[in-house]
A and B are shown apart, each in its own frame.
Chain A
């Protein structure tokens, strides 16, 4: 089974702080995604990456950036956290051998910005 590990399950930050959310996968998957999950809004794609050092904007990239220096790691960065970024953040991966569209999700990182 693919393991997608999000390093922080719960974080509490203050407005204006820089926040790093880390995601690591252990199955050599090419594609990695960051979503945020909000009640009533579903899952919205923030950024994704199909290769090392490659990134593409999703539907709601404003206020976020990402980094993919190694194939197994995909980081989501909030340069200056704001209260409207309080949310559950989900990392997901897909690989050619698992089915290009079958997402495997991490457990999520619940971020609260005060």
Chain B
């Protein structure tokens, strides 16, 4: 069965410091991975997906199939990055999909 592991429940950094939120997955098929973010008092929303290969709000994530990882990185954290971050793995069943989420990492960026 597929699994997503986010080893850090809490991560605290100072403004301007680099930040890396770790995500590892286990899945025997071809994975599609996502990062979702939930800011305080806001809805959960998509941050980025690996197939897009884009940088959103300064964040990037590279799929490493050898290490089965999809870590989220930002070189210079900002206070507004403080939020709950979830890594998610899409699994295909027939013509449909469902997402499995990790347990989340709460990022706090201190001034």
Contact = CB atoms under 8 A, between A and B. Distances in A.
Partners in one complex: yes
A89 interface: no
Interface stretch (B11-19, B39-47, B55-63, B67-75): B39-47
B84 to A, nearest CB: 9
Given A42-B104, A45-B98, A45-B100, A101 B49 contact: yes
B9 interface: yes
Given A42-B103, A102-B49, A108 B43 contact: yes
A74 interface: no
Interface bracket on B: 20 to 34
Contacts, number: 51
Given A42-B103, A101-B49, A105-B45, A31 B96 contact: yes
B44 A100 contact: no
B43 A48 contact: no
A11 interface: no
A100 B104 contact: no
A44 B99 CA distance: 9
Interface in B63-105: 86, 90, 96-104
A40 B103 CA distance: 6
A58 interface: yes
A41 interface: yes
30 contacts: A31-B96, A33-B98, A35-B101, A37-B44, A40-B9, A42-B6, A42-B86, A42-B101, A43-B104, A44-B101, A45-B98, A45-B99, A45-B100, A48-B98, A50-B96, A59-B100, A90-B44, A94-B97, A100-B97, A101-B32, A101-B90, A102-B34, A102-B46, A103-B36, A103-B44, A103-B46, A103-B99, A105-B44, A105-B45, A107-B43
